[in-house]
């Protein structure tokens, strides 16, 4: 018995799996990417003598390596932090609290401080870091 070899080779590439993979990648990146809203047009705004700047109230909570806590450079005990921050939050509903901490601060202390700030009624909380290029 002799087997006849098919001399005709398939010279086409099936593009269906490639298109499926590209579509899945496109969908993945669309769903996981964040969009930054920025103005591409530089506008020179006119000046006004009667306009008022709307300041954003910001409170800074600093956590030191030894466990000391300060709020706007005033020392505060951990137990009193919630009521101390609540006084600021009562004055301004759009208060922004920024937590700055030494990188060696106990993680549990950081969580306790964040909880106390949230329980004080603050909706906007941020953690300060330093950008470091490698």
Domains of the chain: residue spans and CATH: 58-127 (3.30.420.270)
For residue 13, the 8-state DSSP code is -
Who's near 119: CB < 8 A, 6+ residues apart? 82
Mean pLDDT rounded to a whole number for the chain: 78
Model confidence over 49-85: pLDDT tens digits? 665 555 567 888 988 888 889 898 899 998 989 998 8
131 vs 134: CA distance, rounded Å:
10
Q: Is the pTM of this model over 0.75?
A: no
Give the single-character DSSP code of 70. Answer: E
In the prediction, which pLDDT does 48 show? 63
């Amino acid at each position: 018995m002799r087997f006849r070899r098919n001399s005709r080779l398939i010279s086409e590439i099936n593009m269906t799996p490639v298109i499926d993979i590209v579509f899945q990648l496109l969908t993945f990146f669309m769903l996981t990417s964040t969009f930054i809203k920025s103005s591409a047009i530089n506008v020179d705004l006119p000046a006004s003598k009667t306009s008022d700047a709307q300041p954003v109230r910001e409170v800074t909570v600093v956590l030191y390596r030894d466990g000391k806590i300060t709020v706007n450079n005033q020392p505060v005990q951990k137990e009193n932090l919630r009521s101390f921050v609540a006084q600021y939050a009562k004055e301004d509903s759009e208060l922004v609290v920024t937590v700055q901490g030494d990188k060696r601060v106990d993680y549990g202390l950081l969580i306790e401080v964040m909880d106390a700030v949230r329980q004080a009624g603050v909706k906007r909380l941020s953690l300060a870091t330093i950008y470091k290029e490698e």
